[in-house]
Amino acid sequence: MSPKKRITMHDHAAEASLFKRRALFTFFCVVALLSMLVTNLYHLQVESYKDYATRSNDNRIRVVPIAPSRGLIYDRNGVLLAENQPFYSLDLVPEKIANMSETLDELGKLIEISPDERENFTEALKFHRRFKPLTLKNQLTEEQVAIFSVNQHRFPGITVEAGLKRNYPYVSQLTHVLGYVGKINTRDRAQLERNDQWKNYAATKDIGKQGIEKFYESLLHGTPGHLEEEVNNRGRTIRTLKIVPPEPGQDIYLTLDLQLQQKAVELLQGHKGSIVAIDPRDGGILALVSSPSYDPNQFVQGINRKDYSDLLNDKSRPLINRATQGQYAPASTVKPIIALLGLDEKAVTEHTRIWDPGFWQIPGVERKYRDWKRWGHGWVNVYSAIVESCDTYFYELAYKIGVDPIARFMEQFGFGQNTGVDIFEESTGNMPSKEWKRLKYNQAWYIGDTISVGIGQGYWTATPLQLASATAILANNGRRFPPHLLKSIKDNTAKIDSPINELPPIELKNPRNWKIINEAMRQTAHKSRFTDASYTAAMKTGTAQVIGVAENTKYDANKIAEHFRDNALVVAYAPFENPKIVLAVVMENAGWGGANAGPVARAMLDEYMLRDTWKPTP
């Protein structure tokens, strides 16, 4: 007997109810999703319209910065010292060149491309966008431009582009004052980014590296402009929409007198050393020369490794600015200031006389400190001690005063600290004291150290600029003007003079002491180099030992290496009645100051005081 079949009964009412619920749920989901879509569309199209329109334009419009032309630099008389010259470069668009290596080989047959240039180009190409031009060679000559122009049809994607580059027409004569511009490197970029200035250099390849070019970079650089380009989705330019021209950098006028600067360069030719000239009436630097020098134009487009290595390893150190960084024992050039302190502290008077037998001894000590004149000067007072540069007088004076009062007084004249000159390359020199020696060497200060300081030797070092600045204070009877190079600034509207900064004067207990010391310096000049001059001058010479000489040993320059020979120094000013120029001359290893640096000082003062019609000689 077969089993019974189960009969299934459908509940149509329940199924219809379930279908309705599901349909209703689906309908509400669709409505909710459509509502969200409409709401989002409203937000995009209405509420956020401006925001997205701006973003769209930013993607469609590219802003390309335009570099400003750099400000020019002139001397005090309007002679152009740093200019912008047009130059030509060879640029390639990589994507338009099928075979780069073969193209470079063919191009090299027409225009000389050095291995360094090719290597630098190949390296830069790795990180460069292929549709943008890349420079292969800078500073094309007119002949090279002409040769390429004739053959340009053979090299699609390669063009000659024109631009402006910095040029220094007086080459090495002003290097240590003007400095130079060079390519912006990683360190420069990091510094600009820290100062939030990088956006102003987006189109600029050069930046001031040394001297005035670096110190006044913010004035000389200018403000970049920009052009707006419409581009496609691959970044290629479709058309130019707008151009905002850049604002050129401001022109600056320096206090330098090019005629005097060129005379100083001529006088130091073949010598290592420095000449600094200052106008004591306002602190303006008339001449600042460091010898030997170098051509700053080498650095503008990038100096090659060999030339830079040669400069770096040159034993004469041309890269050092001796005027502001050279540190020399001031020797006898500071004796007038020490005598001024002695008078003001009443350690001596105008009429005090000291017997000089040719040496001086610390009381109770056997050692003898020799005078430069072995048989001595006999009886000397403050006038004859300065005129004859009597060491014995100043040994005694330093012993009476002590090193710390000397250091404090000399600091008022700028020794041991920055002068405030408007270039960054400056050394402070060293003004020694008891505390300085303890901190530097952890040693006690000895009386013998004070004796050396009394004649400007020992631990005391100064730069030529410090010597000139201190002498200007002396000539001004205590008035102090920090040395500076900026005279005025010129933009599109006006020429504005730089304000003169005067520091509080040095006040003596007896102001007449200024007159005594300056009179002694006048007598020094009249007795030595200015007997026949048509103007009155004041001066003090100095001879600084580079190495020590044993007590009973006679110095013989012919028996020692040249770099161990004495340095020759002179400080001077003129005219005596109303000083207009102050000089400091330092000649390394030249020997006796009066005999070697003295004629240079006379020639410089003659050049300034007796000048006639003059034209600059590039």
What is the set of active-site residues?
332
- The annotation status of 371 as a binding-site residue, yes or no, is yes
pLDDT, residue 482, reads: 96
Contact between residue 163 and residue 300 where contact means Cβ atoms under 8 Å apart = no
pLDDT, residue 18, reads: 77
Contact between residue 280 and residue 595 where contact means Cβ atoms under 8 Å apart = no
Specify the 3-state DSSP secondary structure of 138: coil
The answer to whether residue 332 scores a pLDDT higher than 90 is: yes
Contact between residue 557 and residue 565 where contact means Cβ atoms under 8 Å apart = yes
Q: What is the mean pLDDT of residues 445-456?
A: 94
What is the C-alpha to C-alpha distance for residues 543 and 493, in angstroms, rounded to an integer? 51
- The annotation status of 556 as a binding-site residue, yes or no, is no
For residue 613, give the amino acid letter.
T
Taking only the tens place, the pLDDT of each residue in 386-441 is: 999 999 999 999 999 999 999 999 999 999 999 999 999 999 999 999 999 999 99
Please enumerate in sequence order all residues whose Cβ is within 8 A of that of 161, keeping only pairs 6 or more positions apart, or say none. 88, 89, 90, 91, 133, 135
Higher pLDDT, 134 or 259: 259
When pLDDT is cut at 50, 70 and 90, the band that residue 550 belongs to is low
Taking only the tens place, the pLDDT of each residue in 91-116 is: 888 888 888 888 888 888 888 888 87
- The annotation status of 29 as a binding-site residue, yes or no, is no
- Domain spans of the chain, in order of start: 64-254, 258-283+325-609
Q: What are phi and psi of 292, to 5 degrees?
A: -80, 170
The answer to whether residue 277 scores a pLDDT higher than 80 is: yes
What is the C-alpha to C-alpha distance for residues 377 and 359, in angstroms, rounded to an integer? 10
Indicate the CATH number for domain 258-283+325-609: 3.40.710.10
Indicate the CATH number for domain 64-254: 3.90.1310.10
- The annotation status of 356 as a binding-site residue, yes or no, is yes
When pLDDT is cut at 50, 70 and 90, the band that residue 41 belongs to is confident
Nearest alpha-carbon partner for 486 in 499, 495, 473: 499
When pLDDT is cut at 50, 70 and 90, the band that residue 229 belongs to is confident
Q: Point out the least confidently predicted range of 134-138, 478-482, 484-488, 585-589.
A: 134-138
Contact between residue 157 and residue 136 where contact means Cβ atoms under 8 Å apart = no
HSE at residue 3, side-chain half, CA atoms within 13 A, is 3
pLDDT, residue 51, reads: 64
**For the ranges 66-70, 192-196, 287-291, 304-308, the one whose mean pLDDT is highest:** 287-291
As a residue count, the chain comes to 618
pLDDT, residue 235, reads: 58
What is the C-alpha to C-alpha distance for residues 414 and 470, in angstroms, rounded to an integer? 6
Please enumerate in sequence order all residues whose Cβ is within 8 A of that of 208, keeping only pairs 6 or more positions apart, or say none. 179, 180, 181, 214, 215, 216, 217, 220, 221
